[in-house]
Structure 1
């Protein structure tokens, strides 16, 4: 026989064979009897790996390798590489359990008493609006069970016979294994029931402040049936079996608001007890010592008796260090730290799930994962390749990306990660990080000298957010963390925030920020954040949350070194940026990067000197990847990452003079149809002017005349002819209007022309500003 306690860094779980509960060991003339505790260990040395069944002996100071081990492995472990510890069999709390149960009196199940909390149905529509539903056909065995169940409920007083009504519900039988159960379809009644505010506390908030070394879980029997229905609305919950009608006198299962009403009732009973938490009919009690736990159990069991709440002792577990509660495994360590992890059965189901072959398989697989998504750091991102196949018009196609996501999710679940309940009295810390495609955050709490994770969250960035600068993404990661953990970080005296992006530290004291960054910082001001920079290699959890290998497919381009160097050189010759580069603090929003010596505006926009504009615009607009964007899109693209004076005017001129755009691009709008000029309101209110040339030159009043200015009244067709020279200019036109036309006919409302230079000169525009017509 081989005897061992525990090898170094190995967690040991012992078991005791039922056929041989004790073992006798003979050593040095002594005969000692121990509990026959066994453990199967897997361990390795530098050159060998072993798996063997050992007998655990308490209070042993040496390691004994028996002949069974030598015969099996033909080797002996090097003793100098093994450490030994002592272990004791688990304590026996049977006497404490018996003492606690003496305070609970299991009264017969009966109709509960009237209470102020009796539930009242409130409806949005009258019961008469419900359509009668035919009974569900069932086999003979199910019919017999339904009748037997109705008789049992009648004997307990939970239901009573009632007159036939048209709004009855329909019961049917479900089989959970070999055990049948009556289920009533209350969907029609639920559709017109006013919902109560949700009083069901989320699990992660429910376990807040749990701290202790020993636990018990309680299960209430017939939970909802402990609450009465108000007599005025009992007939609302009517159901039909065969030709008979029955209505509930207690709160039924399946009715809307049943869970909320029961939660409010239980909360009122145990509101002053901080050591017990209820989730519907499941309770957990956590204490620091066995003696304290005994007193806590007595208090809870006494209240159950006083309020006529029935305990299912068979499904309850007492004085445990690890319990299964509300679909989670809750463990207590000797130092009082609680850890929460998924159930082994849930992990095993996911690990053994076959590769999906259709959309329904994906839905089933994601359904298993969704229940424990809080334990998967980057759940939304890892499952995205699978969930994308569930689109309405998406054809099922299992790609390498899907297989990688499926494999990674199963491998991640095999690690059985654990979280720890939040404690308001312990210090907290946030670690944040941002990658090119996501942001991640982890909430930690300091237990003794160790930071343990409470929650972790990640979010894939949207399309627009992917264009943000690194600084914006890193600050958004902090904003994201505070928003997600607001329930925990609100009203804290100090919140440590660790980030691996050093500029974030000085950002909180900077005055030269963009409007977006200022708005985000304003949202963070109410929280007492203390920002610290840490090396990226030490920011593992948050960094891992934000860096998603499935989506890290990027093509990035970096400007050549000489081009960046030319920017620094050309700053001195730029008429605007030269003075700013010499003293960035003189202008708001400008700063110089200490490493590259490049000038930035608002910390994210690279300043471009005039001598480099042509090269930049060619790359942005006219390169093969530029696509010859229009003015608006080119400006939008440049504004995100670059800055230079008169940006809009320069871009408009550059795009407007682009030869390719002028020759190839079509008009963005179709030309309008020809329209007749509306009839003027009166004589000389609307005139038309034009120049007729090509005549022979003749002398006239000391000048040479070879053209005629024609002015036509569009109302009466009255025409004036003014002799002019072919060198006719805007000054001559203004002189004719002011000296000859306006004195005779007044100022017209509209003047039509062919847009000749003498008619459209800026001086004429100023003169005729109030006379312009929108169609001119």
Structure 2
């Protein structure tokens, strides 16, 4: 036995300090326990501290006493039932009062820990049984073995039922006790035959259900990886687990099994796992090395060789993480897809990202290059790609629209609304702004039709300021209508349309919309019926207010003079002789102001771009690349927060400048008779498509 122990330590790559080693001892003290050939029991030197513990005088002392006792609670049957009066005292909503019940519990725990039982050592060659039972409040289990003709207790376990579990039927509770107990004692049971003894006769056929469904089906699947036989024992002969179920030690498990359909990894018993591991080339090389058959081991595994061990013929790797599992199962390539589905795709895994999926897998499993394969799997998950935004900065640097050289050479236009119907029947505001002077033209409209838009363009733009060279609008139907397009053609105005779902292209007009709405809200009546009456006044206020960017008022840059208000006419003031009495001087001063405004706009755009680009990435795609396209959608009766955000995959057809791309649905043939028209998409709406 000593040779076997030392060989196992050597295989694991561990070293021992001779001064801390003890050889040929019949009994040893270890971590507060006495370990001998007969079994494990509490160290009397430690339990004497319990026997000498003074009667608690406050909640803090009660908690200390219970913490000291709980370390040895696996040696005390009915621990939770005995300690219940003391546990009740530790609640925040209970006033401390030491009564008869507390005194009895205090003395009984002391008595039991003065003469605790000796728990046996587990022998994997001995007959093994689990005795389980369920009550209305908890589950109980006892792991026992037949050793030298006598029944030895190896471990006790119990836990309380959650509120949901308390509503289970009797059969479901008893079945839950079996599944939970086997999971609790799994390190002892995996790979060996054993029996489950229960006082509920209906469970004898659980592992052999022909057409299982629901919760029982899922539990039946969990048992298939074990070599288990379920036998019935009457309640009168089943007292050990029965009393534990009525005095649970551990709290209920959060997120207990419910009625939702859940996928489970196909059950693989130890025999199948041994065969599957040996079918995997990489894992087989490690197994051959451990079994002394030699052979080469891949470099990716050779550095970890001291960490591998064979347990009952199954390959495990030592767990160096913080998990409670000391050994990680070596997963062959044939089972990794199922592991991924269970740890990422399944509802119980939640389609979480790379880090959490990796942590979930690393908690129990190992295979070569695990982080890389998890990264590739989570990155290429179709559902995650459709729903989640890229965990990086948005794409696309800012490209400001250069300020024109003359007023109303380039304008932006947009519809603002709909608003509540005014007393005159208006519901919309059409807004136009000049990209040099920031001068605004507005008008209240009963509708946002192409006729209304075209009429505004003619009357408020063409007849007042002349034909602009460039008009920037969104892709609203009123701006794309044939009537509007014909007027723009006749006036030789180039129409630039923003890309879909990217109004920032016409950002100057969008910002003006917000300003106008804010200003109207200050003066509108409580019923919101007079908003159109104040529109001309707030437009005048906007045009005669100095712009922070240019330093001038829009009125001054358009008309070459400052506006004269009613306040100016009412109050006396000294006339100012600025030397600009003739028309030429006035015109020259206006032109100088416009050039200065243009320079200031340019300087401000550089500052804005520098600040904006700190939060952006310069992303480029090439023709033929496959991408996802972000498209916000709304559907009646569905939550917008739960809808998919991305659609595709699409294929890049052509690059239009630095920010825009033409895309078509992937798979569209160029020779198709009814080929869809390519869609122009801003780069901020695109993200790469990763194929699995």
TM class by shorter chain equals 0.3 to 0.5
Looking at secondary structure, tell me which structure has more helix per residue: 2
When normalised by structure 2's length, the TM-score is 0.33
Looking at secondary structure, tell me which structure has more strand per residue: 1
Please say which structure displays the higher CA radius of gyration: 1
Q: Which has the higher contact order (CA 8 A, sep 6+)?
A: 2
